Structure 1
Amino acid sequence: MPKYRNTFPSGAAGALAAWRRRALSRAVHRGWRWVQDAGSVTAERPGPYRFRRIGAHTRLAFPLGTVFGERWIELGEHCIVGEQVTLTAGMMPGHDLGPDPVLRLGDGVVLGRGSHVIATREVTIGDDVFCGPYVYITSDNHSYDDPHQPIGRQWPRSSPVSIGSGSWLGAGAVILPGARLGRNVVVAAGAVVRGEVPDHAVVAGVPAKVVRRWDEERGWIPEPRR
């Protein structure tokens, strides 16, 4: 039978090595927290970004995802933008979109880690909209007019998107061009939404459909499971 030896130091040498590993780990984590704090973007510390507006107490976590077209991006007050969130206005950096804002976040919006908001047409997210991680919101989609050409080479179609105040978008939800979500809408995780969604509705599925709605006289239809 092969014999295995303990390759870890023992005694005083082992204790010293363990202390060094713990000290290094603490230093790395403290250093990373310092980098995250120093790299975060606020109205007082915009870094290299020149957003049209950053509201008071809004914070974009470091590291950010892809960000360009800041001149056409407005961020309301008390927003939380997680790590690796992409915010873009225009097809590419340097694209002139005119005098008005294109991407607007209301007050108190939360964008979870890894989410994307892509706007070449107006994308409006109302107050107190909460998004889980990896939500994808876009005003653009590839066209498929010519079946003989690569889809990625065909000019995309664009349509405005609006998300009503107080809504909740679950992890991995996709909001397609032209979507118009009412107030206090719940989008289930992984749902793909297009078209119009009424106020106080719950949508789920691919494509997303209304699975529950609120009626002022009858309450929730159908009633929630107990």
Structure 2
Amino acid sequence: MPKSQNSLTAWRRRLVQRGVHAAWAWAQRAGSVSAEQPGRLRFRSLGPHTKLAFPLGTVFGEPWIELGSYCIIGEQVTLTAGLMPDLDLGAETILRIGDGVVLGRGSHVIADTTVSIGDDCYFGPYVYVTSTNHSYDDPHQPIGKQWPRAEPVEIGPGCWIGTGAVILPGARIGRNVVVGAGSVVRGVVPDHSVVVGAPAKVVRRWTADQGWQPPLRSPAPSPIPAECTPEQLLALAALDEETLARLAALDERQATRPAAGGGQAAARPRRVRETAAE
């Protein structure tokens, strides 16, 4: 094939690729669900600045689902109330999600009886929360045909639920709890604790009189200074890896040089970083 024809084919492919990406970005914007753009979904309540990303997962029973404000519901997240669509579940809310909750991509929240997620909870991708479990009481019947058991689930505010965690019926998770990735949680989990494993067990806990036990192995990270402006943060984010590598190499050279220059030589790398961030 002539070189000019190869170039034309490559150009067409790039053009088609850009068109596909642009169309998908438009579909994501147009297909997302919010209070201003609810589409076909009619939740019992949908707070301001909350958005369900497109493509949506399975969503039904929304008249018994409450979503707070400033929530981020990732792509392909399933939210259901009731065993199946078009059931009358009564007057009470079945699934309640607080303000500022983040549900990661592909997560499932299955509420056949009440499920409550507190404010400011963060879920990694593919977390599974269910209030229903299969029963196997009758050894002569297929498990899938036996009537399931349902128990309420409560997740307190401020929790961090790791990727792939499973929250089983009857779980009562306290405030500011860390659930490790892949953990399977059932029963009561106390406030300010870290649980891991299947079944999940408490491996660290904070109390007012003893602090963290066992003690934390590393110091708490330093927060961003209050006087730091958004412009400075953007400038810092713009520093690429090559620039940071150069600054690190400069620091190493300054550290190995004799201290003949006094304080001026030692301060030079700092001025370079400050100049780069301005």
TM-score, normalised via structure 1 length = 0.94
Helix, strand or coil: the match of 2:34?
A: coil
Is 1:22 aligned to residue 14 of structure 2? yes
1:72-106: CA deviations, max 9, x gaps?
00000000000100000001011111011110000
Offset at residue 10 of structure 1 (A): 4.1
Aligned position for 1:50: 42
1:26-65: CA deviations, max 9, x gaps?
1000100100110000001111111111100000011111
Residue type at the aligned position of 1:88: T
Q: Which runs of 5+ in 2 are unaligned?
A: 219-278
Counterpart among 126, 134, 137 of residue 134 in structure 1: 126
Is 1:111 aligned to residue 103 of structure 2? yes
Aligned position for 2:138: 146
Is 1:38 aligned to residue 25 of structure 2? no
Offset at residue 11 of structure 1 (A): 2.3
Aligned position for 2:248: none
Counterpart among 200, 203, 207 of residue 192 in structure 2: 200
1:154-199: CA deviations, max 9, x gaps?
0000111000000000000000011000000000000000000010
Q: Which structure: greater strand fraction?
A: 1
Counterpart among 71, 89, 94 of residue 97 in structure 1: 89
CA-atom RMSD, angstroms?
0.9
Is 53-62 or 211-220 further displaced after alignment?
Answer: 211-220
Q: Which runs of 5+ in 1 are unaligned?
A: 1-8
Q: Which structure: greater helix fraction?
A: 2
- After the TM superposition, list the runs of 4 or more consecutive aligned residues in structure 1 that deviate by more than 6 angstroms: none
